[in-house]
Chain A
Amino acid sequence: MVQQGWLVWCGERYEVAGVTGKKKKLLIVGNGMAAGRLLDELIKRDVSGFEVTVIGDERQGSYNRIMLSPVLAGETDVPAIIGKPSSWYRDRGIRFVSGVQVKAVERERKCVLTSEGNRLRYDHLILAVGSRPAKIPAENQQLNNIYSFRTLRDVDRLLNVARFHDRQSRKTDTDALVIGGGLLGLEAAYGLALKGLRVTLVHRSGWLLNRQLDKTAGGYLQRVLEEKNIRFILNDEVARFSGSHELKSAELKSGQSLSCKLCVIATGITPNKELGLAAGLKGARGVAVNPYMATSDEDISAIGECVEFKGETFGLVEPIWQQCITLAERLCNNIKLPFENTPVPTKLKVSGVNLFSAGDFITTDEHRELVYRDDKAGIYRKLLLRDNRIVGAVLFGDARDGQDYFTMLSEKKDVSKIAPFLLMGRAFYQDSDQQQDSDGAVAA
């Protein structure tokens, strides 16, 4: 056990190490998904050389943020998604400071300043502060009943509104307004619709998931979601909200006005880069890291959505897992395993909606495009090829083979021979690969 206490010096409180003070202090700021995974990776290796502390401003231990959508949709409950309750930290000798925000990093002193005014020292600091919902330029966002969709607290509040919602009342144009037709917005809209709310989704672009899908697949998706009781307004944005305290209505740029009781804004995320950049770390869109997740200060590393790597930021967990492994290897084993930012396929967690997107998704003149369409079954598959290699895949309605395409895309496999069978899935192109030679059938 680590002995701990506080020392007040020159009017400031410092944390003091216990008797086993020889261990290096490893301080992790942020207790989201990246931090949670990093802890797992560290423990898997050898952390006996470290005294580990985690500070997070959310109350709970690390939980699976991804599962907030199913929670909202009522497909799972809160306890099921809390991966690390406080006991988890205790049992592993990890100090867990919850509900506390870090206000500043003081690099010269090698400590951080918390919202409670305390300073915690570190030998090595890890920033895993994630991102926050992006702001929209609309007026009057301070009104009650306008929410984001990022944390357990957001979901709690949304569930609460839904619980007391009067399903019979038709006084407003719509019950809930969701802004943003990306993954998050759609999952929020779906969850609310499942709760029986009339949902209208306003999206700035011409089709849904315009960062992952082409127009056709976006159209298919819209059709399916419309069947699930979601109304869509495309090519439009909210200009202002109105109401006195409570939200009453939203006015769109097109001039249309929609009365509503509740609004969820899910237009994107902004990396929490400020903590690091204010301390003088390099970076622009996020805190810049090298392939080993080190920032411009060798005693500070960063992972997760607050990071900028080769100019790119992150919004999905897959590459973040890789970052955690890279960092754990370096800290525990002193092994340099470079992080590579490989493309990640998109999936949408709406039951009954199967979609998959990876790599390029808009067809250009440089692509050879292969398309499978089954309008009745609502199945659409598109593969984009360049030099006989898959460089993009968009699947809608039946996403089963997504992983295979993704593998071929990653491995840059030459698919010229099996092109006609590709879209039908593995069972067929593997077959055809073999049969092509041995088959005695007539080639017509």
Chain B
Amino acid sequence: MNMPEKLIASDTVNTTCCYCGVGCGVTAAVADNQVVAVAGNTDHPANKGRLCIKGSSLHETQSSPDRLLTPMLHGKAVSWDTALDYGASKFREIIEQHGPDAVAFYLSGQLLTEDYYVANKLMKGFIGTANIDTNSRLCMASAVVAHKRAFGSDAVPGCYEDLEQTDLLILVGSNTAYAHPVVYQRIAKAKEERPEMKIVVLDPRRTATCEIADIHLPLRPGSDAYFFNGLLSYLADTNALDREFIAAHTNGFEEALAVAQGQVPDVTAAAHLCQLDRNDVVRVYQLFAGNEKVVTVFSQGINQSSSGVDKGNALINCHLATGKIGKVGAAPFSITGQPNAMGGREVGGLANQLAAHMGYDNSDDINRVESFWQAPNMARKEGLKAVDMFRAIDEGKIKAVWIMATNPAVTMPEAGRIRDALQKCELVMVSDCIGNTDTAKLADVVLPATTWSEKHGTVTNSERCISLQKGFLNAPGQARHDWQIMCDFAAKLGFSEHFDYPHQVDIFREHAALSGLDNNHSRGFNISALADIKREDYESFTPIRWPVTTGSPKGTDRLFGNGQFYTPDGRARFIPIQARLPVHEPTAEQVILNTGRIRDQWHTMSRTGTAAKLLGHVDEPYIDIHPHDIERFGLLEGDLAVLANQGQRYFGRVKAARSQRPGEVFVPMHWNGKYAASSCADALVNAVVDPICGQPEFKHSPVRINPFKQAWNGFLVCAEDIQPHCEYWAKITLDGGYKFRLADGEFPATWSDWIKNQFPLIGDWVDVHDSHDQFYRAAGFSDGRLQVVFSAATDKVSAREMRWLEQQLGEEIDSNTRFAILAGIPGAGVEDVGAIVCSCYQVGQNTIAKAIKGGCTSVEALGAKLKCGTNCGSCIPELKALMR
């Protein structure tokens, strides 16, 4: 890491990190139209100077070799006009023939609020359909609906400080250590300063977050709502209710309690239903009852379920019942994964929302928005949500789709079917900064969009904090902002006068004005005080939490402190919850598949996958599985196993994990067709969705698991990016190229031809061949520089990898060192550092183990000696685990 000691003011800009919903403020040093260094912005409320490894690698991940520079039409570079003319005339044609519901937009939480606003307005007001949805659907649609049901508005009651100032923090299905690293750091620090603060983790897996937990409850997957129903019953039984609050500020308590008691009457029932130790449940219930300040954080673990909305409400019920809301250190707190998922929700860029917290359930809202926009073709009903949208594409009902800044061919459930659907679709438009994502490969029109550091506009993080993601670099090639692209597109459809925005600030003002239109405290999202924001103020936007109104011009840290909610009668709503288990139950040969993220990878790797440092941490698709299951299914640790469901396969390396419950496996969701042959977790996920919000059940799919019977395995290190002709491969980005792990159930005719045919331009080869075909190794050079190393073997130990070897890629290699290249080891006793644990300083497991043996018994001691864990701190849970 070359973190500058101090950034020089004249060359620095303040912006926000684009990697996750924490929304950290970043100060970037710029020189020659490049970001040369980044540091946490000490003035930003979300992170106060901190950054995680992803954030502090922002400058390393920028320049992708795959960057798209010109518009492409059917694979050929064309002008903007040609590309947009083609798209627009197709759209028009399809709308004329089949009506507006035959077209759709699929957006992403990557887009800025201004982009969202333009997309939403164009689609719902001018094209005339609400077929606009986003990948945030996959993330927090459940929370949106839970919030709306309970509070009358999609609003997170608290802010990040509450997580630090609470006395009891319950993390539900949220591996904060990996998913929201800076929030995790803040919690960890608070816990260190106030050890009496209790932390409880509710998660079937013993995740890294459990390192700071006082209690971990490994509950049965999907049983969260039973747990909170049980808690509600317990609170009633033990007189722990806030009767006054319930009476003054809520509706529906008695019914909700009755349903909860009918299903989970007591602690014993709760423990039984959630498959937990009764004493543990009692302890947590007692803690909840006994503490004034309780924050319950929930995210994907709860949201990505077929009953996610209910789970959210079950836990919100408990907060309402005890009045633990709207106060310092007391709130139910939904935390989002995507950088601007919240911005999309505020704009209303989802199929079942209208705009600015207005909905399709209210015809006044529809009319209001129609007249505000002067919309000629106002969509008057909800559109299709993500999963249904892609089904409609598959069925040919939707004939044109425009996908922006996301990669559904990888991330959607049944990703294999999504690919098929897109292949059939008459018009697929994609705007992205990278031209060769799995989705872009299926597109007719691919448009080059700007990306972080070029884009300019606002984002909102998980605590309602709006900040500016600043554009300060020139876009390369012909790349343009998404909102500009859409405005031009709108003009081509004949709507130019309504999409004639000179600058982002003009969009923002319109958005702010709409948020305040006839609001009168009926809608949570209100930033009307910013409707006349000056251009200068916008350009140096001070982070602020909404609502921002004339009454609260400095923003609002906490909502509902006065007991006023956004429902018509101002009262919060209890929702009676009939808890349900996941839809599909596994058969005897199946295990339950749970998907999620790992620490250093973000989404489908198209951005982070290029930074070698980030892949050092966990570099191959894997399957976390309990040792009993390893035995039960005849697997071997470290070997490959195959998960199969609906005709799709996921290959991963077997990792024994006692943190896993027997019968359940966990796989990371990041790998896709660019990074692995067949390790796309979401392809195995059943398209089962929450009936209320349409969010898919990512966390619970029964799948088969079998050992992969490999004839051979090996690795390939090369400078050029290829797709190895191999049943299994996983790509790992190195500093000077790529590494592939390989395995195949069958032998190629000869390994020598196999490798050489894949690198036809390389003529200078050296190889080692075994007539018994137990191993094969080859290295290829151009101009004496190492380009390819391939090692194959039938056993598992011969094709051993060494970091040293990877460092030789691109180096000039004399004929003597060629022996070493084939051996894969320098030969002169150079130590292998092992799997990288600390990505920031590239400290490997072997090095750390040695230091621990040598007497480093604390994280601090390790840090002093090896520097590991001293930058972003995200590896500390693993350091601790190594010391045990």
**B768 touching A427 by the CB < 8 A rule?**
no
Q: Is A421 on the interface with B (CB-CB < 8 A)?
A: yes
**B819 touching A419 by the CB < 8 A rule?**
no
- Residue of A whose beta carbon sits closest to that of B640: A444
Chain B residues contacting A420 (CB-CB under 8 Å) are 768, 770, 774-775, 777, 793, 798
A377-B818, A427-B827, A439-B832 are contacts. A370–B769 as well, Cβ < 8 Å?
A: yes
Chain A residues contacting B815 (CB-CB under 8 Å) are 374, 376-377, 379, 398
Complex alpha-carbon distance, A373 and B751, angstroms: 14
**B741 touching A423 by the CB < 8 A rule?**
no
**A424 touching B766 by the CB < 8 A rule?**
no
Query: Of residues A375, A379, A431, A444, which shows the largest number of chain B Cβ atoms within 10 Å of its Cβ?
Result: A444
- Smallest Cβ distance from A109 to chain B, in angstroms? 61
Q: Is B491 on the interface with A (CB-CB < 8 A)?
A: no
Chain A residues contacting B818 (CB-CB under 8 Å) are 374, 377, 379
Chain B residues contacting A19 (CB-CB under 8 Å) are none
Q: Is B715 on the interface with A (CB-CB < 8 A)?
A: yes
Complex alpha-carbon distance, A425 and B822, angstroms: 11
- Smallest Cβ distance from A309 to chain B, in angstroms? 34
Query: Of residues A377, A420, A425, A436, which shows the largest number of chain B Cβ atoms within 10 Å of its Cβ?
Result: A420
Q: Is A371 on the interface with B (CB-CB < 8 A)?
A: yes
Q: Which of A371, A379, A443 is the one whose CB lies under 8 Å from B769?
A: A371
- Residue of A whose beta carbon sits closest to that of B619: A442
Chain B residues contacting A427 (CB-CB under 8 Å) are 819-820, 827-828
- Smallest Cβ distance from B102 to chain A, in angstroms? 48
**A440 touching B827 by the CB < 8 A rule?**
no
Q: Is B764 on the interface with A (CB-CB < 8 A)?
A: yes
Q: Is B6 on the interface with A (CB-CB < 8 A)?
A: no
Chain A residues contacting B194 (CB-CB under 8 Å) are none
Chain B residues contacting A372 (CB-CB under 8 Å) are 766-769, 822
Chain A residues contacting B822 (CB-CB under 8 Å) are 372, 423-424
- Smallest Cβ distance from A378 to chain B, in angstroms? 9
Which residues of A from 284 to 313 have beta carbons under 8 Å from B? none
**B772 touching A371 by the CB < 8 A rule?**
no
**A423 touching B768 by the CB < 8 A rule?**
yes
- Smallest Cβ distance from B732 to chain A, in angstroms? 11
A420-B798, A425-B819 are contacts. A435–B766 as well, Cβ < 8 Å?
A: no
Which residues of B from 807 to 863 have beta carbons under 8 Å from A? 815-816, 818-820, 822-823, 825, 827-829, 832, 834-835, 845-846, 849
- Residue of B whose beta carbon sits closest to that of A423: B768
**B800 touching A441 by the CB < 8 A rule?**
yes
Complex alpha-carbon distance, A372 and B771, angstroms: 12
A398-B815, A444-B800 are contacts. A363–B771 as well, Cβ < 8 Å?
A: yes
Chain B residues contacting A428 (CB-CB under 8 Å) are 819-820, 823, 825, 827
Q: Is B106 on the interface with A (CB-CB < 8 A)?
A: no
- Smallest Cβ distance from A364 to chain B, in angstroms? 11
Chain B residues contacting A398 (CB-CB under 8 Å) are 815-816
Chain B residues contacting A425 (CB-CB under 8 Å) are 819, 827
Residue-wise, chain B 691-726 has the 8 Å CB interface mask toward A (1 for contact) of: 000000000000000000000011100000000000
Complex alpha-carbon distance, A444 and B771, angstroms: 21
- Residue of A whose beta carbon sits closest to that of B797: A443
Residue-wise, chain A 409-444 has the 8 Å CB interface mask toward B (1 for contact) of: 000000000011101110110011001100111111
- Residue of A whose beta carbon sits closest to that of B845: A440
- Residue of B whose beta carbon sits closest to that of A401: B819
Q: Is B781 on the interface with A (CB-CB < 8 A)?
A: yes
Complex alpha-carbon distance, A424 and B825, angstroms: 10
- Residue of B whose beta carbon sits closest to that of A428: B823
- Residue of B whose beta carbon sits closest to that of A377: B815
Chain B residues contacting A440 (CB-CB under 8 Å) are 832, 834-835, 845-846, 849
**B771 touching A367 by the CB < 8 A rule?**
yes
Chain B residues contacting A236 (CB-CB under 8 Å) are none
Q: Is B683 on the interface with A (CB-CB < 8 A)?
A: no
Q: Is A368 on the interface with B (CB-CB < 8 A)?
A: yes
Complex alpha-carbon distance, A370 and B825, angstroms: 19
Q: Is A173 on the interface with B (CB-CB < 8 A)?
A: no
- Smallest Cβ distance from A354 to chain B, in angstroms? 12
Chain B residues contacting A375 (CB-CB under 8 Å) are 764-766
Complex alpha-carbon distance, A441 and B828, angstroms: 17
Q: Is A15 on the interface with B (CB-CB < 8 A)?
A: no
Q: Is B494 on the interface with A (CB-CB < 8 A)?
A: no
Q: Which of A368, A374, A432 is the one whose CB lies under 8 Å from B825?
A: A432
Complex alpha-carbon distance, A439 and B849, angstroms: 12
Q: Which of B715, B772, B823, B832 is the one whose CB lies under 8 Å from A424?
A: B823
Q: Is A369 on the interface with B (CB-CB < 8 A)?
A: yes
**A431 touching B768 by the CB < 8 A rule?**
no
**A370 touching B834 by the CB < 8 A rule?**
no
Chain B residues contacting A421 (CB-CB under 8 Å) are 823
- Smallest Cβ distance from A140 to chain B, in angstroms? 47
Which residues of A from 363 to 402 have beta carbons under 8 Å from B? 363, 367-377, 379, 398
Q: Which of B765, B774, B802, B829 is the one whose CB lies under 8 Å from A419?
A: B774
Query: Of residues B772, B781, B828, which shows the largest number of chain A Cβ atoms within 10 Å of its Cβ?
Result: B772
- Residue of A whose beta carbon sits closest to that of B739: A444
Q: Is B801 on the interface with A (CB-CB < 8 A)?
A: yes
**B766 touching A431 by the CB < 8 A rule?**
no
Chain B residues contacting A377 (CB-CB under 8 Å) are 766, 815, 818
- Smallest Cβ distance from B727 to chain A, in angstroms? 14
A369-B771, A372-B768, A440-B845 are contacts. A431–B798 as well, Cβ < 8 Å?
A: no
- Residue of A whose beta carbon sits closest to that of B781: A376
- Residue of A whose beta carbon sits closest to that of B799: A444
- Smallest Cβ distance from A271 to chain B, in angstroms? 37
Q: Is B283 on the interface with A (CB-CB < 8 A)?
A: no
A419-B775, A440-B834 are contacts. A376–B764 as well, Cβ < 8 Å?
A: yes
Chain A residues contacting B534 (CB-CB under 8 Å) are none
Q: Which of B816, B823, B835 is the one whose CB lies under 8 Å from A442?
A: B835
Q: Is B638 on the interface with A (CB-CB < 8 A)?
A: yes
Leading 8 A-B pairs by shortest Cβ distance? A428-B823, A427-B827, A374-B766, A377-B815, A369-B771, A424-B823, A424-B819, A420-B798
Beyond A367-B771, A370-B771, A376-B815, list 7 extra A-B contacts (CB 8 Å): A372-B767, A425-B819, A440-B832, A440-B849, A441-B800, A441-B801, A443-B797
9 A-B pairs with C-beta separation under 8 A: A375-B764, A379-B766, A379-B815, A420-B768, A420-B793, A424-B822, A427-B828, A443-B800, A444-B801
